[in-house]
Amino acid sequence: MNASKQVVFTPSGLRGVFPEGTTILDAARTLGVDLDTVCGGRGICGRCQVRVGSRPGIEARADRLSPPGPTETEYRARRPLDEGNRLGCAAQIVDDVVIDVPPESQVHRQVVRKRAEVAALPVDPVVRLYYIEVAEPDLASPSGDLQRVLMALAEQWQLEGLAVSSMVLSGLQPALRRGAWEVTVAVRDGAELVAVWPGFRDIALGVAFDVGSTTIAGHLCDLLTGDLLASAGRMNPQIGLGEDLMSRVSYVMMNEDGAGRLTAMVREALDGLIGELVAEAGRDRLDILEVAFVGNPIMHHLVLGIDPRELGTAPFALATTDPVEIMASELDLLTHPVARVYALPCIAGHVGADAAGMVLSEGPHRGDAVQLLVDVGTNAEIVLGNRERLLAASSPTGPAFEGAQISSGQRAAAGAIERVRIDRETLEPRFSVIGQEMWSDQDGFDFSLVSGICGSGIIEAIAELYLSGVIGPDGTIIGRETSHRVVPRDRTFSYVLCDDPLIEVTQGDVRAIQLAKAALNAGARLLMDHYRVDQVDQIRLAGAFGSHIDPIYAMTLGMIPDCDLSRVAAAGNAAGTGAMMALLSGVARAEIEAVAKRVEKIETAVEPRFQEHFVAAMGIPHSRDRYPELAKVVDLPARTPAPRGRRTRR
């Protein structure tokens, strides 16, 4: 008769009394401790690794567990096993013991990312792998191979009543025989058997996409561990048929099967990115079992093969706001044939799955602070609220922030001026361009590589000109004879930012930015009206533009409502992070689906107050001494620009 021993699991604190000889995995299962296993306790997968811990009265001693036996010795011969780590399925209880379950052995783990923008992501994928031993067929009691697989899943994993993908059928019998009646299966949503491989296997990959009108970014992840294996980006090839979203819709309206062509182009780009990602990570695209993506409504529709023409004219009806699941093969993506693509929900006609991804990533609905989330592109997507209530709107900022409608404007690409400083006294400029490390006043700066000015550059230039007194609070460029930098043009003035090549900030440029920033500010104010707050607790600037604009300049110009600067932060590629979260976690999907349903949509076009706010926001709201740190020209770049190769402009 075996004596009973106490087992305490940390960090869960779950405890129980078990007969000597009970395995740690069995004890964990009995108590409901979150201890992972793919092989079901057969000493193969190594996911149930634990360590002996301690607490008052039970010191950490290796001999509280049985000594390592053949299972662990064999495992160690195949794979590394850290000193002191034990396989929970093999180690047996010998004495009272504290068992520490490290994070990597938990099923519902949090993976901490290296890149700042990707914080802790819960890993709880919709596709999970299960290793099973299947009964062999028997002439005397005939049953289908599939039925014996389902029986094994019920007996060995308590998975009952599974549906079965028809795609499992053709490979099932060879897999069972090649694996000598031991196979690994993939189960989706705990409800459907979707794939079978011979023998033990712990490879399951996924890809998250952020499909922007300009750039597409992809991330290859390990679905089991949550590890980010590779990231890559490429231009959206549709850009050849129209720079911005509305020109894509025009293309659709003017060309027979224009939508089909745009769909084919974006899908080809996605498939190409998959190829890049697996090549970079040295993996096989046929191991990709799941894909998730975000995009603005037009990209969302085009990826899914839905003609986006309805999004081009009022009332901007989306085909669907719900999340969409579709086979990867239907989108012409070459992956494992059972891979499905999950499109995050859309919120409204101009507030798409990208905004949903941003919400999922930044989580205004998870906290009490009233958060303003802004993603700036041709339209600005604006979300305001907290756990109580969320509002969303799209504001027609136009393409000025992306460098369009600016006399020397260009997209944020090599050669674009992106940072600008102007001497408060001499009005002489200094600037940096994308692709050169040094500033324009440093030795070796190559002016021949300067080609234009991008969105963040024009914002900084206008703010610095205001702070230097060249631009008045109403946005007028004030002529002054003391500087050759301010020159008359027609009946207005321009500021010469660069002599050769000639790059000016014109009165028209200032007006274009004023219109754009007024629209952005008015959208935010409209949501604040609806929310009945005068100011917000936090501001998050999402997207590439949001990441590269300096909040202090944005605030100076009144792009965003006033807020303590310490509470304004860039959110990085929040939409892409949201896509990754949805890729890795079914819980995250349920979360954003529930949140998207209860977001209140505010349509700026039908709100008279939007016009009022818009007019009121045209000027520059703050006096020049609002931010003392800007009283004189800032000597150093306010912040280190992110490596351009990583930058994904959406």
Residues that bind its own copies (CB under 8 A): 137-147, 164, 166, 169-170, 172-174, 304-307, 310, 314-322, 324-327, 330, 346, 348-349, 601, 603, 605-606
Rounded to whole angstroms, how far apart are CA atoms 570 and 413?
Answer: 20
Nearer to its own copies by C-beta: 35 or 393?
Answer: 393
**Residue 249 to residues 180, 299, 436, 603, Cα–Cα distance (Å):** 55, 10, 36, 20
CB of 614 to its own copies, least distance (A): 18
Taking alpha carbons only, the member of 106, 23, 95 closest to residue 64 is: 95
Nearer to its own copies by C-beta: 327 or 616?
Answer: 327
Residue 567 per-residue DSSP state: G
CB of 146 to its own copies, least distance (A): 4
Rounded to whole angstroms, how far apart are CA atoms 117 and 647?
Answer: 12
Provide DSSP, 113-171.
PSSTTS-EEEEB-SEEEEEEE-PPP-TTS---HHHHHHHHHHHHH---S-EE-GGGHHH
**Residue 396 to residues 302, 330, 353, 377, 545, Cα–Cα distance (Å):** 21, 33, 18, 9, 16
CB of 392 to its own copies, least distance (A): 10
CB of 400 to its own copies, least distance (A): 25
CB of 236 to its own copies, least distance (A): 20
All residues at 6 or more sequence positions from 586 whose CB lies less than 8 Å from its CB, including other chains: 124, 125, 126, 189
Rounded to whole angstroms, how far apart are CA atoms 279 and 243?
Answer: 30
Phi/psi at 209 (5° precision) = -120, 145
Q: Rounded to a whole number, what is the largest CA-CA distance in the chain?
A: 104
Nearer to its own copies by C-beta: 392 or 575?
Answer: 392
**Residue 26 to residues 23, 100, 157, 174, Cα–Cα distance (Å):** 5, 15, 13, 32
CB of 301 to its own copies, least distance (A): 9
CB of 504 to its own copies, least distance (A): 40
Nearer to its own copies by C-beta: 308 or 551?
Answer: 308
CB of 349 to its own copies, least distance (A): 5
Nearer to its own copies by C-beta: 111 or 596?
Answer: 596
Nearer to its own copies by C-beta: 294 or 400?
Answer: 294
Rounded to whole angstroms, how far apart are CA atoms 431 and 438?
Answer: 9
**Helical spans, DSSP H, in 188-257:** 245-254
Nearer to its own copies by C-beta: 317 or 631?
Answer: 317
Nearer to its own copies by C-beta: 268 or 330?
Answer: 330
Please report where in the chains the tokens 């991008």 appear, as a residue: 454
**Residue 455 to residues 419, 510, 543, Cα–Cα distance (Å):** 10, 12, 13
Q: Please state the three-class secondary structure of 414-473 as a single string.
A: CCEEEEEEECCCCCCEEEEECCCCCCCCCCCCCHHHCCEECHHHHHHHHHHHHHCCCECC
CB of 224 to its own copies, least distance (A): 26
Cis peptide bond upstream of 11, omega within 30: yes
Nearer to its own copies by C-beta: 569 or 605?
Answer: 605
CB of 580 to its own copies, least distance (A): 22
560 touches 554 (CB < 8 A)? yes
Rounded to whole angstroms, how far apart are CA atoms 288 and 207?
Answer: 7
- Name the strands in the sheet holding 452-453, side by side, starting at the edge strand that comes first in the sequence: 429-433, 416-422, 452-453
CB of 142 to its own copies, least distance (A): 4
Helix (H) / strand (E) element for 208: namely strand 205-211
Residues, the chain: 650
Nearer to its own copies by C-beta: 318 or 513?
Answer: 318
CB of 191 to its own copies, least distance (A): 12
CB of 139 to its own copies, least distance (A): 4
Taking alpha carbons only, the member of 440, 428, 441, 429 closest to residue 482 is: 428
Cis peptide bond upstream of 315, omega within 30: yes
Give the sign of the dihedral formed by CA 601, CA 606, CA 610, CA 614. positive
CB of 318 to its own copies, least distance (A): 4
